[in-house]
Amino acid sequence: MPPFLTQPFPEAWRIPLRGWTNDGVNWLVATYGDVFRGITDTVLLLLVRVERGLAALPWWLVVLLVAALVWHATGRRVWPAVSLAGLLVLVGTFGLWSQMMTTLAIMLIATLFTIVLGIPVGIAMARSDRLKALLRPLLDGMQTMPSFVYLVPVVMFFGLGNVAAIIATFVYAVPPIIRLTDLGLRLVDAEVLEAAQAFGASERQTLTWVRLPLALPTIMAGVNQTIMMALAMVVLASMIGARGLGQEVLRGLQRGNVGLGLEAGLAIVFVAIVMDRVTAGYSRRWDPTAKGR
């Protein structure tokens, strides 16, 4: 065999991607440090407000509100409302109520960001095939890249703590809502769109009166998936300093406290179930093609 075939991978072919990345990140932090600090402070302010607000609510009121929300989302069904509210009470009996409220605050803000950013991006993507071709690999990458990889730069940009956790959660959870907004808008019945056009509707009228309402169930399915993915990030996010239920799971892990880990884990599952039922409920309720109850 010729000798070059037995050689190890040639050293000279090395691309210093890691060097470039590190330099790039350092440069960004050094140059735009103020911008990142500004973002951090703003998000933090918002988070503190929401968290305080939630904490100020008496526990029974939260339980009632959630029950009412589930009742409304599921088309006025009593049993799901009662049982899901019961799950929240159960979390209280684990002694994890305040942690749950913290997790809820982080979740709500991360979800808010994904909706506020994800839906417009999805709308733009539905309008332009070129943008879609461009964004698709990026979204695939965001979803498949192990989250540990971007935990580090996120911390470098936003510091350890809840804000970094929100940003990391956002990056991980935003792809489904973008994708499903795009899908929902593209799936709107061609004849209904033609009708809107035939009556002289402008692009804007068509979007707000026809496309978005008809895509709403699909978009809600995206919100649902996004929330589920965000909840999957809760424990990981606590590794970069997020408080709440994830932190308890982590603590259970570190101290060999299986019971604590289980309680906190169950609490996360309960929150997930509640949020899933609410968003899935609205996804179904807003489906104009489904038969009403």
Partner 1 sequence: MTNHHEEGATNGAEIHIEVEDLSKVFGPDPESIVPLLRDGVSKDDILARTGHTVGLRDISLRIERGETFVVMGLSGSGKSTLVRCLNRLIEPTTGHVRLDGEDVLALGPRALRDVRRHKMGMVFQRFGLLPHRTVLANVTFGLRVQGVSLAERREKASAWIERVGLAGYEQALPRELSGGMQQRVGLARALCTDPEVLLMDEAFSALDPLIRREMQGELVRLQQELSKTIVFITHDLDEALRLGDRVAVLKDGFLVQVGTPVEIVTRPADDYVRAFVEDVDRSRVLRARDALKFAAPHATERVEEALGRVAAGATLGEALAAIADVGGPVAVVGRNDRVLGVLDGTTALRALTERPEVKTS
Interacting residues toward partner 1 by CB under 8 A: 189, 191-192, 194-202, 205, 209-210, 213-214, 286, 288-289, 291-292
Tell me how far, at minimum, the Cβ of 209 lies from partner 1, in Å: 8
Cβ-based nearer residue to partner 1, 214 or 229: 214
Tell me how far, at minimum, the Cβ of 248 lies from partner 1, in Å: 43
Cβ-based nearer residue to partner 1, 73 or 154: 73
With CA atoms as reference, report the closest residue to 119 among 53, 25, 26, 218.
218
Cβ-based nearer residue to partner 1, 34 or 191: 191
Tell me how far, at minimum, the Cβ of 220 lies from partner 1, in Å: 13
Q: At 289, phi and psi to the nearest 5?
A: -90, -15
Tell me how far, at minimum, the Cβ of 192 lies from partner 1, in Å: 5
Cβ-based nearer residue to partner 1, 45 or 195: 195
Q: DSSP secondary-structure letter at 87?
A: H
How many angstroms separate the CA atoms of 90 and 92, rounded?
5
Cβ-based nearer residue to partner 1, 13 or 199: 199
Tell me how far, at minimum, the Cβ of 218 lies from partner 1, in Å: 13
User: What are the helix (H) ranges across the chain?
Assistant: 3-6, 17-31, 33-56, 59-73, 78-93, 97-127, 129-144, 147-158, 162-186, 190-198, 203-206, 212-232, 234-238, 245-255, 258-285
Tell me how far, at minimum, the Cβ of 190 lies from partner 1, in Å: 9
Cβ-based nearer residue to partner 1, 25 or 201: 201
For the record, the structure tokens of 14 come out as 């090395």
How many angstroms separate the CA atoms of 48 and 102, rounded?
10
Tell me how far, at minimum, the Cβ of 73 lies from partner 1, in Å: 17
Q: Do residues 124 and 184 make contact, with C-beta atoms less than 8 angstroms apart?
A: no
Cβ-based nearer residue to partner 1, 26 or 205: 205
Provide the 10 A C-beta neighbour count for residue 264: 30
- Residue 151's identity, in one-letter code, is L
Cα–Cα separations (whole angstroms), residue 73 to 61, 231, 275: 18, 20, 11
